[in-house]
Amino acid sequence: MKTVASLDLGTSKILALVAEIDNYGDIHVIGIGEAPSKGIEKGQITRLDLAVGSILRAVKEAEEMADVKLNSVNLGISSTVLKSQNEKDTINISPQPVEIDETQIDRIIERTTTRAKEEGYEIISAIPRKFVLDEQEGVLDPVGLLGSKLTAEVHIVKVGTALLRNVEKAVKSSGLNIADKYPSIMASAEAVLTQEEKEEGVLLLDIGAGLTDFILFVEGSPIITGTIPIGGNSITKDIAHFMRISVEQAERVKLEHGFALSDLVNESERVKIKPRGEDKEAMVSKKSLAEVIQIRLEEITDSVLGYIDAQGINLSTINAGVVLTGGSAKLAGLKEFFERYLDLPVRIGYPMGVFGLKERIQDPAYSTAVGLLRLKLKPLYGYSVNYQNSPNLESEGKIKLTGWLNKLKSFFKEVL
């Protein structure tokens, strides 16, 4: 059995999972740790000592439940300074058709990532969207096929270097190594989306406390990855301001009485609150509460739509619609709001593909943490970018690209 672990650094809480992968490749969760998130805000470290303390508490709880000592974790990266782009390049391989191997794949991905380099940013994933082999379009995997010229379009995600280094420092200061790091939204996609949805076209929104991460799949692969600096906490603060109550009370009111679509709330329903500076309780309209929530949700949605529209993509082409996940996806009426606002099919995404402790992890808040475990088992849509440990190579920005066959071979050597 191979032990793996994941770490999700959220704005409201830190999640750590420990799992075992059996000889059949099934993932069994054996440890869960949660801790309030301190010193971390919207994916960035705001105070190192508090962040380290939160990580240690979550990891210790997971270790004690699993009865193991962790050395490394798969880490999710989410940030307001995360962005994506698609790069296309062509390499000439041979005058006559020859068999394509991973060397050519690595070469063309390295060329595209080199073109995508940007000062102040580090590339954390590079995913081939499509290949053209000579004049053959629609090639999913050219390895083993014959050709003389290879073209690839690669989806590249990068994040601010300073932010990334601080996150890495917080994790390493907790006594943990980072086995691999991935964009958090890609981990969530691995946990909640089906391959059919990716092929049909689907928009995934992971609505957390501080951020809303999103990823758009077209024809089976990601074409846009991004982040909006608004999440469930923004809704809570809006409620607190509107009702003149504490943030703590506003969060409780949101969870117990909030609804995302005001049209579906009865005018006569009331919610009991205790306004600041007043001795007596007061009653407010539940419909007014829903209107406050809906206004902020419209802002989140419009921001995502604006980002997608700027890339020239029409959402009417995504036949699988929208999937919602993340801790704030549990807000009542959220599915109905997005169905009405986007005129697309919508479902709530729950983590899939793992065994054990399902009563805990069958929760949208665990999507990223579960997806990080699943990404350990399979390469990220074929290929991923990992910077080598050598300080010299890292400072020069050289990239080590490892093909999926080598990763699978290495994995089965460890578990068999």
Domain ranges of the chain: 82-161+379-415
Average pLDDT rounded to a whole number, residues 378-405:
40
What would the DSSP string read from start to end of 279-327? SS-EEEEHHHHHHHHHHHHHHHHHHHHHHHHHTT--GGG-TT-EEEESG
CA count, 13 A, side-chain hemisphere, 22: 9
**Alpha-carbon distances, residue 5 vs 14, 20, 72, 281 (angstroms):** 13, 9, 7, 46
Please report which confidence band the pLDDT of residue 404 belongs to, taking 50, 70 and 90 as the band edges. very low
d(CA 231, CA 331): 12
Identify the pLDDT of residue 277. Answer: 82
pTM for this prediction? 0.90
Average pLDDT rounded to a whole number, residues 225-229:
96
What is the H or E stretch that residue 213 is in? strand 212-218
d(CA 357, CA 244): 40
d(CA 168, CA 151): 34
361 pLDDT above the threshold of 60: yes
Architecture of domain 82-161+379-415 in this structure? 2-Layer Sandwich (3.30)
Average pLDDT rounded to a whole number, residues 296-320:
93
Among 244-248, 389-393, 397-401, top mean pLDDT goes to 244-248
Q: What percent of the chain has pLDDT over 70?
A: 91
Please report which confidence band the pLDDT of residue 412 belongs to, taking 50, 70 and 90 as the band edges. very low
Q: Are the CB atoms for 243 and 273 separated by under 8 Å?
A: yes
* DSSP letter assigned to residue 114: H
326 pLDDT above the threshold of 80: yes
389 pLDDT above the threshold of 50: no
Identify the pLDDT of residue 210. Answer: 95
Q: Who's near 34: CB < 8 A, 6+ residues apart?
A: 13, 14, 15, 16, 58, 61
Average pLDDT rounded to a whole number, residues 154-166:
96
Length of the chain measured in residues: 416
385 pLDDT above the threshold of 80: no
Identify the pLDDT of residue 61. Answer: 98
Average pLDDT rounded to a whole number, residues 128-152:
92
d(CA 101, CA 104): 6
Terminal-residue alpha carbon distance, the chain: 8
For all residues of the chain together, what is the average pLDDT?
89
C-alpha R_g of the chain: 22
Q: Give the tens place of pLDDT for each residue, 344-359.
A: 999 999 999 999 998 8
**Alpha-carbon distances, residue 58 vs 36, 182, 325, 357, 407 (angstroms):** 8, 20, 21, 16, 29
Query: Cα 291 to chain center, whole Å?
Result: 28
d(CA 306, CA 408): 39
Identify the pLDDT of residue 17. Answer: 97
Angle at CA 10, nearest 5°, toward 9 and 13? 100
Least confident of 314-323, 326-335, 385-394: 385-394
Please report which confidence band the pLDDT of residue 1 belongs to, taking 50, 70 and 90 as the band edges. confident
Going by C-alpha positions, the residue among 350, 322, 349 that lies closest to residue 337 is 322
Q: Are the CB atoms for 27 and 353 separated by under 8 Å?
A: yes
Q: Give the tens place of pLDDT for each residue, 13-63.
A: 999 999 999 888 899 999 999 999 999 999 999 999 999 999 999 999 999
Average pLDDT rounded to a whole number, residues 114-134:
94
Identify the pLDDT of residue 379. Answer: 52
Higher pLDDT, 149 or 400: 149
Please report which confidence band the pLDDT of residue 314 belongs to, taking 50, 70 and 90 as the band edges. confident
401 pLDDT above the threshold of 70: no
